[in-house]
Amino acid sequence: MRHSVYLTHYNMEFKDYPQHQIDAKLQECLDYEAKYGEIPQVTAVKKWCNSYEYRKNEWQWRQNVAKSINYNTNYTKPYYNE
């Protein structure tokens, strides 16, 4: 499989962001909400900042999306299997 070659270049183990970066992103969210009010996108990022498990699950989801890409498929065609 061609795409497995690309995945070998990536570390397949979750490594969390440094806490100071997470704290900075959370502060950005809080500042935004104080200025403009709550919106779902900011609420999601706050949840990401406050939960290690949420960050880990999001990372796993992104890895699985990348693995699902078939590099031999023309996704612009109306029917993929033709």
Could you list the pLDDT tens digit for every one of the 82 residues in the chain?
444 444 455 668 899 999 999 999 999 999 999 999 999 999 999 999 999 999 999 999 999 998 888 777 777 777 655 5
Q: Give me the pLDDT at residue 72, please.
A: 77
Q: Does 25 reside within a domain?
A: yes
In a domain, 6, yes or no: no
**d(C-alpha 63, C-alpha 41), whole Å:** 21
pLDDT of the residue at 79? 66
Say if residues 42 and 32 touch (Cβ distance below 8 Å).
Answer: yes
Does residue 81 form part of some domain? no
Does residue 75 fall inside a structural domain?
no
Q: Mind listing the pLDDT tens digit for each residue in 16-29?
A: 999 999 999 999 99
| Number of domains observed in the structure of the chain | 1
Q: How far apart are CA 4 and CA 8, in angstroms?
A: 6
For residues 25 and 35, what is the distance between their CA atoms, to the nearest angstrom?
15
- What is the predicted pLDDT for the residue at 77? 72
CA atoms of 17 and 56, how far apart (whole Å):
10
Measuring CA to CA, which residue among 27, 26, 13 is closest to residue 56?
A: 13
